[in-house]
Amino acid sequence: MARQATQDKRTTTKIHDQTLLRGEGGELHQTRAGDTPVLTTAQGAPVADDQNSLKAGTPGPSLIEDFHFREKIFHFDHERIPERVVHARGYGAHGYFETYESLADYTRADIFQRAGEKTPAFVRFSTVAGSEGSADLARDVRGFAVKLYTKEGNWDIVGNNIPVFFVQDAIKFPDVIHSVKPEADRGFPQAQSAHDTFWDFISLTPESMHMIMWVMSDRTIPRSFRFMEGFGVHTFRFLNARDESTFVKFLWKPKLGLQSVVWNEAVKINGADPDFHRRDLWEAVKSGNFPEWELCVQLFDQAFADSFDFDVLDPTKLIPEEILPPRPVGRLVLDRMPDNFFAETEQVAFMTQNVPPGIDFSNDPLLQGRNFSYLDTQLKRLGSPNFTHLPINAPKCPFAHFQQDGHMAMRNPVGRANYQPNSLGEGPREDPAQGARSFREPIEGPKARLRPESFADHYSQARQFFNSQTGPEQKHIAMALTFELSKCENPVIRERMVAHLLNIDEALGATVADRIGLETLPKPADAAVAPRDDLPPSPALSIIQNGPPSFAGRKVGVLVSNGCDGKLLKALQMAIEKEGATVELIAPKVSGVVTADGTQLPAKHMIDGGPSVLFDAVALILSKEGAQMLAKEAAARDFVADAFAHCKFIAYSPEADPLFEKAGLEPDADEGLVPLDGAASIATFVQSCRKLRLWAREAAVKL
């Protein structure tokens, strides 16, 4: 697809009390109204364009002379100490990456030269918007950052669990984050996007519509780090020994399949255990159930890029897996937790510009800006240019340079000459053959702040994503949008957002409009490029259609009481563990119970501290007296009612009837309630659990 510079043809749009100019790229430019001040740099220089960074050609690489972008991103990177500006709440683990096969035809990156070779790795998962002390189950994008300690330097794949992003140009990154962070005048809300400033920005930024569909989906409330995908987001390049280029996108696929929670469940998990994701990863690694992902690549050439429906340099777009199937090239295994959280997980520094020879960049303007920004971020956060001396950040291969001194220097060059060239025969020298080289891409075009016309379609892939979801998933997106927009106090923002939704799916827009109480539907938002309706659904975009092959890695909570059937409990526990899942007992007291045969069993949780939201499925193995006693406990009634409402599979012994009755349920309400009376019924329950949820129940529950 030819990429032509957007011409200065603009339409005006009146929104609330502002006049906005819309370029052909779809971006909105605010014009001054009345006594509105002129936007300037910190030095007072008026700014002509705050939407696009300066580039050489369109779309060309970003230019270092762009003083406005440099100042804006510099100040943004230094806003907060000591936690990260974004991705403050994180959790990490050590492991290794094992290469499946040589990719020497595509790249000379050392990590991809030898099949079976293992490379040390450190991975940090995170939420984006919340502070370090926020809860794990906030609706938010999840960071998925991988540091690979290769033999030719560190390689950081600094990605998310979503393959696209909110904005197309890094100059807008401070704005989207400012909008989603706590509002500046009040300091709340924390770790959530359901407020006016976020949706004000989004509703004025059509390029965000694809990302918004992902953010409002269940992708942003994952059940576990272990059950989510990771994406490098951008298009990169592989360079082989002949300096031939192949475009590449990076994807991490969890071996245990995809899984998320429902919103009502997420809210309750945050109350019951705000460290839910951290605890899950810790317990999995410590128990030897090491999480695994496959690294997959989408490889393509310039001819594919030119023929694809969308610009591969646009970070708000993806390449559907059905069009370009991902190729597995290695596996990532996490097998060791940090010895010290601060020294490793908090001090680890990821930077997109950390690449070994054989990995190169594209002209994606968001990637170009990230490459420019991250060094500032680490300097501000870690306080010294010597942050690479910290063990978690230091390469594990030999390295040599002339950088010296500075705050907290832990190593310095040895010898007389700390410069080069020198004739004293000291110090390292460059190696044109082994060193990193950039792809020799010809650059043409004027120096300008523009976006290519090929970036201008903001709705078609958003529509494709929505159409690729199953019925329950589409319902969850509508519910999420309704909840979020209901928290906006300004009705203009709500109406403006519905106008965008009508361009994605008319029924979705109408549903949300009805639920938030709009009396009349607004006109669909002006679109720089008319949304397409011919993009086929992509099943790979659905969580439900990409669930686990088994119940392995999941957790069953078994509510027990004194006098329960110990043999039945043991048989159930053995069957679940054979499946690769784990069992945790919940009892009236954390000291445990005594079974009918006199066996003392300790509990993991007492009923008040072990709600069913913490588990993937539940079972009730009770005595008649125990069920009658628990039926009087609100926590026990909620245990059953919530499990049912969240569409989980529930196994039960016949004595549990009183608890079902008090919870307002019939024991034979649906096929997801499995009575336990022997080995066959236990097998039926375990087999049912592989589906994770009985989604047919959701319509009746109406959470």
Q: Identify the CA nearest to 512 among candidates 522, 504, 526, 501.
A: 501
pLDDT value at residue 243: 95
The Cα diameter of the chain in Å comes to 90
93-107, 152-166, 419-433: the lowest-pLDDT one: 419-433
DSSP 684-698: HHHHHHTT---GGGH
What is the CATH code for 553-701? 3.40.50.880
pLDDT value at residue 34: 64
**Overall average pLDDT of the 330-348 stretch:** 96
d(CA 371, CA 366): 9
254-258, 292-296, 419-423, 511-515: the lowest-pLDDT one: 419-423
Q: What would the two tokens of residue 137 be?
A: 């189950």
**Overall average pLDDT of the 387-408 stretch:** 89
pLDDT value at residue 412: 83
**Overall average pLDDT of the 328-341 stretch:** 98
62 band by pLDDT with thresholds 50, 70 and 90: very high
pLDDT digit string (tens) for 173-186?
Answer: 999 999 999 999 99
pTM for this predicted structure? 0.91
Map residue 240 onto helix, strand or coil: coil
21 band by pLDDT with thresholds 50, 70 and 90: low
CATH 1.20.1370.20 fits 456-544, yes or no: yes
pLDDT digit string (tens) for 274-299?
Answer: 999 999 999 999 999 999 999 999 99
**Overall average pLDDT of the 516-542 stretch:** 97
Task: Kindly list the catalytic residues.
Answer: 87, 160
Detail the DSSP E strand segments found in 84-117: 90-99
Percent of the chain with pLDDT over 90: 81
Please say if the pLDDT value at position 79 is more than 80. Answer: no
pLDDT value at residue 81: 52
58 band by pLDDT with thresholds 50, 70 and 90: confident
d(CA 504, CA 459): 6
Please say if the pLDDT value at position 151 is more than 90. Answer: yes
**Overall average pLDDT of the 117-132 stretch:** 97
Higher-pLDDT residue of 442 and 6 is 442
Cβ within 8 Å of residue 124, ≥6 positions away: 87, 90, 91, 92, 143, 145, 147, 345, 348, 350
Distances (CA, A) of 563 to 606, 611, 625: 17, 22, 8
Helix (H) or strand (E) holding 146: strand 142-150
Map residue 379 onto helix, strand or coil: helix
d(CA 238, CA 432): 18
pLDDT value at residue 228: 98
Please say if the pLDDT value at position 516 is more than 90. Answer: yes
Domain(s) labelled CATH 1.20.1370.20 in the chain stretch across: 456-544
**Overall average pLDDT of the 607-611 stretch:** 96
pLDDT value at residue 694: 97
pLDDT value at residue 32: 54
d(CA 60, CA 49): 17
pLDDT value at residue 16: 40
pLDDT value at residue 267: 97
Please say if the pLDDT value at position 2 is more than 70. Answer: no
Q: What is the DSSP letter of 279?
A: H
Higher-pLDDT residue of 121 and 47 is 121
Average pLDDT, the chain: 93
pLDDT value at residue 14: 42
pLDDT digit string (tens) for 193-219?
Answer: 999 999 999 999 999 999 999 999 999
pLDDT value at residue 497: 98
**Angle ∠(206,208,214) on CA atoms, nearest 5:** 135
Q: Identify the CA nearest to 258 among candidates 289, 226, 231.
A: 226
pLDDT digit string (tens) for 206-263?
Answer: 999 999 999 999 999 999 999 999 999 999 999 999 999 999 999 999 999 999 999 9
Domain(s) labelled CATH 2.40.180.10 in the chain stretch across: 67-195+217-389
What is the CATH code for 67-195+217-389? 2.40.180.10
Map residue 153 onto helix, strand or coil: strand
Domain(s) labelled CATH 3.40.50.880 in the chain stretch across: 553-701
9 band by pLDDT with thresholds 50, 70 and 90: very low
Distances (CA, A) of 213 to 162, 220, 341, 467, 474: 11, 10, 34, 11, 10
Percent of the chain with pLDDT over 70: 95
Please say if the pLDDT value at position 702 is more than 80. Answer: no
